[in-house]
Amino acid sequence: MGEKVINCRSSQEYIFGYLGKLPLKATFFPATKVKGCILYFHGGGFVFGHRNDLPTVYRQLLVEAGYTVITLDYPLAPEADLTTIYLAAKRGVDWFIEEGWRYSGHTNSDYILFGRSAGGYLATLLTTAAPYASQKGLIRFYGYQQLLDPRFLAPSAYYLHYPKVTPSSAQHLKRTSPVTSGELSERFPLYLSARQFGNWHTYLGKRQTLLELDKQIQDFPNLMPTFLAHCENDPDVPVQQSKDFANQLIQTETYWLSQAEHDFDRQETPFADRCYRQLIGWLDQVGKR
């Protein structure tokens, strides 16, 4: 049984599992008249961030449109490798299907996965490696497609404009036990160093394991309704990763932006507003199928 730990008017928090002694939590933001449920995974290069990083204005837009948003923890790298991260995220999805949906206000366990940046890769991996009939769609904002893309294995020209963080300095920021949240000010230097020295993949696990996970994603069910959004001039994750993914899908809707930004929706803007309104229209259409 999920353990409720917080209950307030606008959200409820549950523990859906543990990683050792570390609780893995889910926060429910319930809609009043529920059309569907969205299971959300945050971004942050798997290194920083927290489950409730979806900007309030856009989370509320989804809730007001009739979609209960459930945000799920996963442990962060490098304290946890990507296999551990995946298994923790899968535990959250399994818990939702078995029990958590009853707290959502919905009539069944159907859901759509939503991930931003690293969370987009995780949501895509879950869709391929844990294909459940309850999943009705995938939303991926500026997500990775291949962790071992050559552009991630070399120093990033964009991040080299920042002050250098040496690998030895970054190692001092690593915790002695896993965590599920990390503030940008505290954890970003870990990611910055990894991208400056082209060793981000070493945070995530053995190269052969990452290669197998990248191959797993290529088995994505091409009939799964999918919504993709990405900036054409993203300085962090190449837009081509999303475009290549879109080209292999049959039921896909895309929203390409001209901005030179990564997380274009981190604050309210007219172009992010348009993206979320198009997303809601897509969600409504998926719900009619």
Distance between CA atoms of 9 and 29, rounded to whole angstroms? 9
Burial letters 223-260, b for 16+ CB under 10 A, else e: ebbbbbbbbeebebbbbebbeebbeebeebbebebeee
| 222 pLDDT tier (thresholds 50, 70, 90) | confident
Check: CB of residue 113 under 8 Å from CB of residue 141: no
The pLDDT assigned to 5 comes to 61
Q: Please give the mean pLDDT across all residues of the chain.
A: 95
| 7 pLDDT tier (thresholds 50, 70, 90) | low
Residue, of 7 and 154, whose pLDDT is higher:
154
Q: What is the DSSP letter of 164?
A: P
Distance between CA atoms of 15 and 29, rounded to whole angstroms? 15
Burial letters 9-27, b for 16+ CB under 10 A, else e: eebbbbbbbebeebebbbb
**Residue 12: beta bridge partners?**
7, 28
Which helix or strand (DSSP H or E) is residue 214 part of?
helix 207-217
Distance between CA atoms of 244 and 156, rounded to whole angstroms? 21
The pLDDT assigned to 136 comes to 97
The pLDDT assigned to 37 comes to 98
How many C-beta neighbours within 10 Å does residue 127 have? 23
The pLDDT assigned to 218 comes to 86
The domains found in the chain, sorted by start residue, are 3-148+206-284 (3.40.50.1820)
Whether 28 shows a pLDDT value over 80: the answer reads yes
Give the mean pLDDT of 265-275: 96
The pLDDT assigned to 220 comes to 87
| pTM, entire model | 0.95
Nearest to 195 by CA among 241, 237, 231: 237
Nearest to 142 by CA among 259, 285, 283: 259
Whether 236 shows a pLDDT value over 70: the answer reads yes
Residue, of 76 and 223, whose pLDDT is higher:
76
